[in-house]
Structures are given as structure tokens and as C-alpha cells.
Structure 1
Amino acid sequence: MYEGVLTKMETEFTSPVNYYLVFENDFLNLNQLLDKKLKITFVKHQCLNCGLNKPIYRQGFCQSCFFEVPQAAEWIMKPELSKAHTGEEDRDLEYEKRVQLQPHIVYLANSSSVKVGVTRKTQVPTRWIDQGAHEAIEIVEVPNRYLAGITEVALKDHVSDKTNWRKMLKNDIDDEDLESYREKLREFIPEEAKEYFIANNKETNIEFPVLQYPEKVKSLNLTKTPEYSGVLKGIKGQYLIFEDQTVFNVRSYEGFVVKIEIA
């Protein structure tokens, strides 16, 4: 039996991707558990910041921590609100400089359909794996998060910035020519970011460890169903896929302490 606080699954870019659940004193290689029965039991909450057993509000944090810690500031979800390049503090200038003032990638990823997104360069291809994208390509590489954010905002008028997670999990996907797609979007890149356009790199292809895709998708809600058993059939994005069509979004339950038993 394994017990620990959930955080997003760690990944290794292999073919297929290797997935790990990492706890404080142990870890699970989930690929080795395919076709095995898992029992997941919710034990308690543990805020990823204060460590207290308080209801999780968002992103693994209790409500009070969510509105205080820099890791949950609005610029995380809206990069165009980044201000560290101006020296202006939001919640913690040192943290904001560390995260915002480093190379960022604006990319196209295809998980259910083509979408545009932003990530730190150090998070390529991890970000694409976490989204369940089977193919992705960089558009620009800029020196800070703000430039990436305004580029994404400009491109959102011409390509989606959302993933249809149900289609992604059912593997209801089409292959796209992302190099051509990138070229079509080139003219819409803001002037400040045009010099950072990437013209020659090829798309990255990603294979996921899935034995059986669900035809219908049922989400496991640990609050409503604190104990669940099922046969693991795949891992894609940050989801576990079970034989009975149940899917479990690990990232949505960061800060939940669980027991996992393997039959």
C-alpha cells in the first residue's frame, strides 16, 4: 500500500511516456500498473503550502493560501499580466523574477484539436505531455513571460487556447500539419515578438501508455466517491484511465492525501 499527498504526475519523455506518482517517501511507476486493479482511498486534505488539513480551494492550495502564494497569482494563468520585467511586484518579486524572466515558448499543441499555449522553455515537452497532446511545435521563443503572454493573446483570435479533454481522452483526434499551421499564424504575432519567430524546427510527436481508450468518459470525484477500485488501462495527460470508463484527473486533486492499494 502507498500513501501520500497527490501532486501532478511526473513524466519521462520516452516512447511511450513514463508516468510516476511521487510521494514524500516513495513513488509509483504507473506504467507498470497497467492492467492491474487499483484501489484509491481519500484520507484527508493537505494544502501544498501550509500543510494543514483544510479543504483544497484550487491548484492544491487551501483558500487562504491560494490568495497569498505567488504560485497561484493571476499571471500564472494569464501570462500577459506578468510584470516582473518592469520591476513591479505582484505577490513576491523575487519569485516572479525567477519564473517570469526566463525563456518562454509559445506553441501549438494538438490534443483534441490545435490550440495555442505558453510554457517556460524548461517545461518543453513536459507541458505538452500534461495536456495529452500527441503532437506539438514551437512558434516563438521569447526572453520573458510577458512577451509570451501578449503573443498568445494575439494568436487566440485565430486558434483556440482550450483543450477538449473528453475528446482527448477518447483519442478522438486528427493529425495536423503544424508547420503549415505555424506559418499561417506568423503574420498575427505582435511586433514586439516577431524577431523571436521559430521557422525551422520540426513538430514533436508523443505516444501515451494507453491499452484501451474510453468510449464514454466518467470523472472520478474523490469528494463524492472517497473510495474507488478499477483496472488501470491507460495514462494520458494528467489522467488515469480505467476499464469501466472512469477517468481520474490527478492534477485536479493536488493536495488530497490518498491511499493506493494494488491488487
Structure 2
Amino acid sequence: MVYTGVLTKMQTEFLEPIQYYLVFENDFIHINQLLNKTIDLKRVGHQCLSCGLDRPIYRQGFCKTCFFNKPLAGDWIMRPELSTAHLGIEDRDLEYEKNVQLKPHIVYLANSSNVKVGVTRKSQVPTRWIDQGAHEAIEIVEAPNRYLAGITEVALKDFVADKTNWRTMLKNDIKDEDLLEWRHRLKSHIPEEALPYFIENNTETHISFPVSQYPEKPKSLNLNKTQQYSGKLVGIKGQYLIFEDNTVFNVRANEGLVVDLSI
């Protein structure tokens, strides 16, 4: 059976283990049901997630024009501390930016390859942690807007990592951490204006992924360089498909590619 569609990040369901779904315009695939089966992936084109045109993907699923012009790709997306909607200042589209930035945001600690600090909209918990391949996570601040969450993240970067090592995460070369202790340790470094939103009492969230075999030396598949690939699927973690031959495919990093997926 062959499915054809535009890659977007896999949708997830917070169960034990996480359930993954690849959604195309006319089909959806329950990826967990493909475990231990051979999958063939073939790039057949591109489709910008914003304008929908067949143009080379520049970043984040967008063509170059859309990446530099559309509000969905503003700098504040990756750097929340640059948010200005709370001041009524427009970056690219003030109404869009208000709708996203002026919502509750969570500053969290997650352990995927190491303990890291991050920011996400409250509505994206625990999806954000799942996408990062975190096996444990905890909220530490619930801010009323993206800016306050962003400056909190920046302040904590001096004391805890802010990036995930994807190879370590995929090899499962990780250890459990006491995130409650981490939260207590970092409290004194939270900016004064964000301190009223510190979360005193909550517990860790634990996440398990459907993986039967972790790669010893992960090799990243890039469909722009290797147009077609075939392999046996042995796991799913974060936004990665893990294959028996140590090949891993980051679905989110390949958003905007039009693919044939054969089973």
C-alpha cells in the first residue's frame, strides 16, 4: 500500500507508550502499527506549509519567501524573549502575534539527553516534551505571556542546558534525574518579574516511547540528499523514526517534503 502526502510533524497521543500518527490531506497512518515492518520512503516533491507552492523548503517547512515574511516564522518563535505583543508592538502581524504570545506559557525542565530548560504554550503540554523525546519533565513557571517565559528561559540557560543532544536521546544513553531538586535549585535564578508565577507544588511527568531497538550509532536520513530509503521500523521517539540499520529519520525536520510512503 502506498500513501502520498506532505510531511508535517507526527501527531501524538499521550498513552503508554506514546501513540504516533502521520496525517496527510486524505489519509492518516497509525505509525505504531508499522513497527517491525519494512517501510519505503521516497521524496516526490516539495510543498511549502504556508503558501502551498512547490518550492524548495528553506526552514521549518517553509519556502524562503514565507520563512522571511510570514508571522508563523518570526524570530520570536525560536527566541521567546523577543516577543513584543504584550507591548502592542508588531513584528510581522500583530493580531496573529497577540493570539499566540498573549496566552499562558510554561517554562519547563525536560530530560531527554540531559536536563534542559524550555518554553512552550500551556496548550502544548505534554506534546512538546513528547516531540523532544523526553522521558521525564516538569513545569516550573506558568507565565501569562510568551515574553515572561522567554526571559525566564534566558536567565536559566546559564545554569542548565537549553538544547537536546539528539544522538544521545536516540541511543537512550540517559539517566533519571530528580527534576524536583533541579526546580528548587533554579528558583533563585528566575527573574523577579516572573517569580510570582513559579510553580511550587507539582510532580514529574513520565513518558515511554515505542522502541524495541535503539540505534548504537544513529545515522540521519535526509531525503533531499537521499531521495529514497527502505528499512525495517524498530522504534519511534521524539519526532524520529528509528530503523534496524541505525538509520533515523526526523519527520519534523523534513516538513514540507511530499513523499510516497510504501508498506
Normalising by the residue count of structure 1, what TM-score does the alignment of the two structures yield?
0.99
The match for 1:169 is 170
Aligned to 2:34: 33
Partner of 1:182: 183
Shift of 1:71: 0.7
RMSD: 0.4
Task: Give, in whole Å, the separation in 1 of the partners of 2:172 and 2:109.
Answer: 18
Residues 131-150 of structure 1: pairs in structure 2 closer than 5 A: 131-150=132-151
Distance 2:188 2:225 in 1: 48
Q: CA deviation at 1:223?
A: 1.1
5 Å matches for 1:94-243? 94-243=95-244
What is the DSSP-based 3-state SS (H/G/I as helix, E as strand, rest coil) of the residue aligned with 2:142?
Answer: strand
1:148-185 deviation line (CA, Å, top 9, x unaligned): 00000000010000100000000000100000110000
Provide the rounded CA distance (Å) in 1 between the counterparts of 2:100 and 2:198. 21
SS in 1 for 2:69: coil
C-alpha displacement of 1:221: 1.1
In the other structure, the counterpart of 1:67 is: 68
CA distance in 2, matches of 1:197, 1:173: 27
SS in 2 for 1:57: coil
Aligned AA for 1:232? L
**Aligned position for 1:8:** 9
Amino acid at match of 2:133: G
What code does the residue aligned with 1:183 have?
H
The share of aligned pairs that are identical, in percent, is: 74
C-alpha distance after superposition, 1:62-103 (max 9, x if no partner):
001100110100000000000000000000001000000000
Unpaired segments ≥5 residues, structure 1: none
| Ranges of 4+ aligned residues in structure 1 off by more than 6 Å | none
Q: Secondary structure at the match of 2:193?
A: helix
Q: Report the equivalent of 1:78.
A: 79
Q: Deviations over 1:10-40 (max 9, x none)?
A: 0000010000000001100000000000000
> What letter matches 2:161 in structure 1?
S
Shift of 1:56: 0.2
Count residues in correspondence.
262
CA–CA separation in structure 1 for the residues paired with 2:53 and 2:196? 47
Output the CA distance in 1 between the equivalents of 2:236 and 2:70.
30
Q: For 2:63 and 2:88, locate their aligned partners in 1 and report how far apart those are by CA, in whole Å.
A: 29
Using the TM superposition, give the Cα deviation of residue 50 of structure 1 relative to its aligned residue in structure 2, in angstroms.
1.0
Q: State the alpha-carbon separation in 1 of the partners of residues 98 and 82 from structure 2.
A: 13
Cα distance in 1 for partners of 2:99, 2:50 equals 19
For 1:196 and 1:16, the matched residues in 2 are separated by 31
Q: Which residue in 1 is equivalent to 2:20?
A: 19
- How far off is 1:238 after superposition? 0.4
Q: Secondary structure at the residue paired with 1:56?
A: coil
Amino acid aligned to 1:116: V
Q: SS of 1:67's equivalent? A: helix
Matched letter for residue 185 of structure 1: L
CA–CA separation in structure 2 for the residues paired with 1:108 and 1:257: 34
The answer for the alignment partner of 2:91 in structure 1 is: 90
Q: Any idea what SS the aligned residue of 2:118 has?
A: strand
Amino acid at match of 1:176: E
Q: Distance in 1 between matches of 2:60 and 2:249?
A: 16
1:231 maps to amino acid: K
| Separation in 1, partners of 2:122, 2:225 | 38
AA in 2 matched with 1:92: D
